[in-house]
Amino acid sequence: MTESLTVNLGERSYPLHFGKDLTDEVRTKVQALRTEGRKIAVITDRRLVEYQGAAYSAMFAEVPKIAVEPGEESKSLAVYGRVLNFLAEERIDRTGLVFAVGGGVIGDLAGFAAASYLRGIDFIQIPTTLLAMVDSSVGGKTGINLKAGKNLVGAFHQPKAVYIATKLLGTLPPREFAAGMAEVIKYGLLGDRTLFEELERKPLTVKSAELAAVIRTCCALKARVVEADERELAKEGGRALLNLGHTFGHAVEQVTGYGDYLHGEAVAIGLAAAARLSVKLGLVGRDEVDRVERVLSAHQLPIRLRSPLKLAPLIAAIARDKKVRSGMPRFVVLKSLGEAATQSGIEAELIEASFREVGAV
């Protein structure tokens, strides 16, 4: 049975469709677009075509597609250029539409291509990883990475719809599922204490009966945050709260070249660091740090760097983070388990000490 939730953004509003298997719904949408005379194209990754070939073929028979290499390295200027050339070669016009079929990398890459090709065409998200389902497919943030930092080039471009089919998680490697759980845990920490406590009592797995409900809970929370602060312009709080753990995590990804850690793994380390920073600011106690780290570890996520990283390049990466305002980094910290806040002007010594406690040297 298909359920829906709307992200309310006026003329840019769109539905999130939830179900176990949405193959028929997507195929019907593809046929309707073709009947309207609209050209469509699919952007996906090579691994998905291998793992989900039957579902992919059923949804997109005879639709032109480009499959890029899986992984964060594909969020690059070079691959972005390939995708734009593909759309041009397929003669996608301003009435055309792109389907982004894959994880967070594909959603960001395809969404940015759609935002910039012909000054903007429509796109639809079909997330196939837990991380993309609960976070990156909702909210309209698109972009690619530069050597200087993660997501430094991008655009706000809302999709026309998001189709979230939990059956697609059946072939997801365990490490990828765990990476997605970092974002689920993040939502519990920043705005849903009940969710966090449920994850404490019983770790979530791909076979959990509660999985579909948890995904919907995370999407609903993100939808409400995005509705209130779509372009992350609030002076305090707002959409920036969704970056809990990400300032530290993005620095880890950038310094390691986007290859050693999955995004969710880096975010997990970032959540541990953010919790430790919150203690140093006098906002929470050591018991809260222990609870955060136990939940992360119970979901097979790292809470420390696998091998030491030099502190200086990590701090330099933070200084280039896109959330910097007036030259000062802005962090999301915990006021309690289930409530977060943004904070600027934090002393460098506290940031450095927090990074050291998770393995920086």
Q: What are the residue ranges of helices labelled H in 192-310?
A: 193-201, 211-228, 246-255, 263-280, 286-298
CA distances from 263 to 39, 63, 134, 210, 336 (A): 33, 30, 14, 24, 24
Report the C-alpha gap between 308 and 100 in whole angstroms: 36
Catalytic status, residue 17: no
Point out the catalytic residue in the list 157, 186, 246, 291. Answer: 246
Q: List the catalytic residue out of 157, 243, 293, 299.
A: 243
Question: Does the annotation count 198 as an active-site position?
Answer: no
Annotated catalytic, 339? no
Q: Is 249 helix (H, G, I), strand (E, B) or coil?
A: helix
Question: How far are the Cα atoms of 28, 39, 100, 122, 286 from residue 35, in angstroms, in the given order?
Answer: 10, 10, 20, 16, 60
Catalytic residue, candidates 150, 186, 222, 291: 222
Q: Which of 232, 253, 293, 357 is flagged as catalytic? A: 232
Candidate list 11, 119, 201, 207, residue with the active-site label: 119
Pairing of strands 97-102, 122-127: parallel
Q: Which of the residues 263, 276, 299, 330 is marked catalytic? A: 263
Q: Are 241 and 225 in contact (CB under 8 A)?
A: yes
Asked if 141 is an active-site residue, the reply is: yes
The DSSP-derived string for 159-184 is -S-EEEEGGGGGG--HHHHHHHHHHH
* Tokens, residue 261: 């850690």
Separation of alpha carbons 173 and 171, rounded Å? 6
Longest CA pairwise span in the chain (Å): 61
Query: Cα separation of 164 and 128, whole Å?
Result: 8
Is 167 one of the catalytic residues? no
Catalytic residue among 17, 29, 75, 141: 141
Q: What letter does residue 132 receive in the DSSP assignment?
A: I
Q: In b/e form, how buried is each residue of 338-361, taking b as 16+ CB within 10 angstroms?
A: bebbbbeebeeeebebbbebbbbe
Active-site residue flag, 306: no
Looking up tokens 């012909």 gives 118
* 270 close to 357: Cβ distance less than 8 angstroms: no
Q: Which of 29, 75, 250, 323 is catalytic?
A: 250
Would you call 151 a catalytic residue per the annotation?
no
> Exactly one of 239, 276, 299, 330 is catalytic; which is it?
239
Q: Which of 183, 253, 293, 357 is catalytic?
A: 183
Cα–Cα nearest to 218, from 357, 361, 52, 16? 16
Per the structure block, which two tokens stand in for 329?
């980094």
User: Length of the chain in residues, anyone?
Assistant: 361
Catalytic residue flag (residue 222): yes
Tokens of 33: 């677009």
Active site positions, annotated: 119, 141, 183, 222, 232, 239, 243, 246, 250, 263
